[in-house]
Amino acid sequence: MSSALSQAALESPALDRDADASAPDASDPDACLSGPIARPAPLPQRHAHKFGGSSLADADRYRVAVGLLDDGAPQRLAVVSAMQGVTDALVALTAAARAGQDWAPAWSALRKRHVETADSLDPHRRHGTREAIEAECEGLRQALERLAAQDDAALAAALPGLGEVLSSYLILAALGGAAAGWSRLDAREVLVVHPGEMGVGVDWAASRERLADWRRRHDDRHVVITGFVARDAQGQDTTLGRNGSDFSAAIFANLFDADALTIWTDVDGVLSADPRLVPDAVCLPSMSYAEACELAYFGAKVLHPQTLAPVQQRGIPLRIRNTRNPQAPGTLISLHSQPDAVPVKGLSLVHNLAVLELVGNGMVGVPGTAERLFGALRGAGVSVTMISQGSSEHSICCAVRADQAERGRAAILAAFADAMADGQAQDVTVTPDVCVLAAVGDGMVGLPGVAAQLFDALAKARVNLRAIAQGAGERNISVAIAARDATRALRAAHSAFWLSPHCISIGLIGPGKVGRALLAQLAAAQPRFQRNSRLDLRLRALADSRRMHLAPRALAFEDGAAALSEEHEALDLERFAEHVRAEHIPHALIVDCSGSDAVAAHYPQWIAAGIHVVTPSKHAGAGPLERYQAIREASRNGGQFRYEATVGAGLPVIQTLRSLLDTGDELTEVEGILSGTLAWLFNRYDGRTAFSELVREAHALGYTEPDPRDDLSGTDVARKLVILAREAGRALSLEQIEVESLVPEALREVSKEEFFERLHELDAPLQQRFDTARAAGLSLRYLARLGRDGRASVGVVSPPPGHAALHGALTDNLIQFRTLRYADNPLVVQGPGAGPDVTAAGVFGDLLTIAQALGARA
């Protein structure tokens, strides 16, 4: 069973769980939680060390191991694996000999590597290391010749263990041999094992007896021990299964009554998740035996349950450490783990599974159904990873290895043939391409809401759960999911429990003024988010109206626009969205600052696919009603749609309206100034300066669009009013609004140049209206109105004295809500409503609102 829990490449074998009564039964998950537990001594008096192959790659690594063994303990044990890559080489040699192939060159290379290492570690041949290596290699050559002449399965099974034997001579020489107080124990002299259905088990009584005899003959304080190898009761050489040296170390720590066991590998300890899938995986400082057992049973390579059983039996603390970073404390596994801020310690993925499901109406309340099903699977040799059954008993399902699924289905069909013939059972289905995600931690025990937190995180990441299982011990919640969702699910779960930042993949369309301002704001805020909020925003795609840049790695926000100009391809919005919604990142978000109706047309499908959309563009909110309704429908079960910046730039206009309605208030009227450009023009217009001159000044200051007619037509204001009306539940369309354009009809279709030449034609009509208003003691403002009767209009009006619109500053937007609660004294939202920085801030706020909804603490 593969695992993603630890990067430590110390794979433990699938070993026999039918052990002697003196050891816990590792086939029972609860066995790891029982047995006599002794409190370990504060300082080890007898310290067992185990070195994996990556820690013994060459002579220099052996010398490093010697330094690590000098820990001051009165008695030390060194259990060694083969040199890195040697076990694989021995397996290949054995296979070549059995197949009649030429194995001699590979044998010579293996011999040469060990002889050269022996000469480096024992240059003066004081310890007889080279002679011992030569003798063992000669024995290997003879064994290979015998295999080539006549196949011998027992001999072939034993040969891969020679690497540990060779390695033990090498480290003994590096340690100084007998002169330094070290002796060498060939585990085959002591360790007795017996075969079982799932591997090999230890004959503890016979092994203790043989070790006692060996110790009477060897009085050295320190011992080098071969890992991996053993003998059966008939004296035949065998092994503990592939990468069984960890189990050897635990066995000998138990047999020697060690106070501590340290497993040395090439990473800092057990990680919270596979760092290849979750770069932010953290090293766990401590774990309890119970947590370790749960992780081990879910396939953690460094934590096979049989490795844990011998040390837990005697309460021996086990620590995982890194030979290449010995300053790191590693991961301590003992009776109790240290208190942690999060309930979940680690997350593991088991790949290459399928779900078998038996469905039957006649199964309800029938005793023995599960026994019958799992008995059939056992008889077919099918391993079960996870079991789930609803209380209705209508169906029962289990996760099995993918390559055993069809065999399992056939076995169940055979076992329930009579029930199917009688109509009591209906079908046995196979769901392929499944992974199981397990969340493990002592902190989950008795803590409400952990499952909800996990399921909520997976739901937000658009991961569907096929099956769910949790034991009564509450230390493990397992879910079966589609294999294609595995990485996204793992990262989402990891983020949900604050083990890593909440990661959001971002695509930006339209890096114009607002887009660039947003990139600058994100660049300034990103370090603060990563430091204080554990929010990881990743810019992965940019696009304008013609081209796009899809980044294989996240771009720095400050470099985003430049990347689009330097390297790009033709715009393809479908590919753009697919890239943003990367499988390895839990959440995806597209920011659309383009102002393109064609881009807005893609919102429904993006949101339905789980991509969140943020925009200051009014095309979605004020476009065709059918599209708006499709967006809202998609957002019920898909991504979120946020558009605060469409009405008042950075002002909380939609947020305020939504809060009123959500709390039960009822909107009766909306009135306000919804254009910063028109606000500036009419706040400045006093009849003394021609209106056309004010338009020219506003254009020069950058307050207007490049073509001022886009502001003066009133269409933009009308779109904003449509958005507010729809937010209030009114099915209003742009065509239903009475819009007063300030552009004379004769100037609407001319070129921009001609428009500016004839701009003075705006003056007379407005001057006349101004004079009329002033004669009545009033002023002019360009207001949007949505009345009680449903009438919607946009145009120039003369507000009554005291109206809020008369007291706004220059470019202020101002929205006045009248509701049942705010009937006499309307609620007013007022502030700057124009400019790229303010609009970008509104977009930024929407982005953070989504991040918070996903679980980030922004």
Q: Tell me how far apart the alpha carbons of residues 576 and 543 are, in angstroms, rounded to a whole number.
A: 8
Q: Tell me how far apart the alpha carbons of residues 117 and 98 are, in angstroms, rounded to a whole number.
A: 29
How many other C-beta atoms can be found within 10 angstroms of the C-beta atom of residue 8?
27
Q: How large is the angle between the packed helices 129-149 and 86-98, nearest 10 degrees?
A: 30
- Using the 8-state DSSP alphabet, how is residue 435 labeled? E
Per the annotation, the verdict on 720 as an active-site residue is yes
Amino acid at 173: A
- Using the 8-state DSSP alphabet, how is residue 159 labeled? G
Q: Tell me how far apart the alpha carbons of residues 263 and 80 are, in angstroms, rounded to a whole number.
A: 10
Q: Which two tokens stand for residue 454?
A: 């996990």
| Residue 627: its H or E element | helix 625-637
776's CB contacts (< 8 A; 6+ apart) are 798
Paired sense of beta strands 222-226 and 738-739, if any: unpaired
794's CB contacts (< 8 A; 6+ apart) are 714, 717, 718, 721, 737, 738, 739, 740, 782, 783, 784, 785
CA-to-CA dists, residue 542 to 17, 384, 550, 780, 840, angstroms: 56, 46, 7, 43, 16
Paired sense of beta strands 427-440 and 395-401, if any: unpaired
Phi, psi of 74 (to 5 degrees): -60, -35
Amino acid at 694: L
Given 301, 345, 460, 720, the catalytic residue = 720
CA 698 to chain centre: 50
CA dihedral of 688, 691, 697, 701, whole degrees rounded to 10: 120
203's CB contacts (< 8 A; 6+ apart) are 20, 192, 193, 194, 233
Amino acid at 2: S
Nearest alpha-carbon partner for 587 in 854, 837, 767:
854
Positions of E strands within 767-826: 781-786, 792-797, 812-819
Contact between 510 and 593 under an 8 Å Cβ cutoff? The reply is yes
Q: Tell me how far apart the alpha carbons of residues 717 and 674 are, in angstroms, rounded to a whole number.
A: 6
DSSP assignment of 285-334 equals: SEEEHHHHHHHHHTT-TT--HHHHHHHHHTT--EEEEETT-TTS--EEEE
How much is the CA Rg of the chain, to the nearest whole Å? 37
Q: Tell me how far apart the alpha carbons of residues 323 and 325 are, in angstroms, rounded to a whole number.
A: 6
* Per-position b or e across 707-727, b if 16+ CB within 10 A of its CB: ebbebbbbbbbbbbbbbbbbb
| Alpha-helix residue ranges (DSSP H) falling in 473-590 | 486-496, 513-528, 560-566, 573-580
Q: Tell me how far apart the alpha carbons of residues 448 and 546 are, in angstroms, rounded to a whole number.
A: 51
Contact between 507 and 545 under an 8 Å Cβ cutoff? The reply is no
Question: Could you give the 3-state DSSP secondary structure of residue 799?
Answer: coil
| Residue 554: its H or E element | strand 547-555
First to last CA, the chain: 38
Amino acid at 90: L
Phi, psi of 848 (to 5 degrees): -70, -35
Contact between 759 and 742 under an 8 Å Cβ cutoff? The reply is no
Q: Tell me how far apart the alpha carbons of residues 147 and 156 are, in angstroms, rounded to a whole number.
A: 7
Q: Tell me how far apart the alpha carbons of residues 700 and 388 are, in angstroms, rounded to a whole number.
A: 69
Catalytic residues: 720
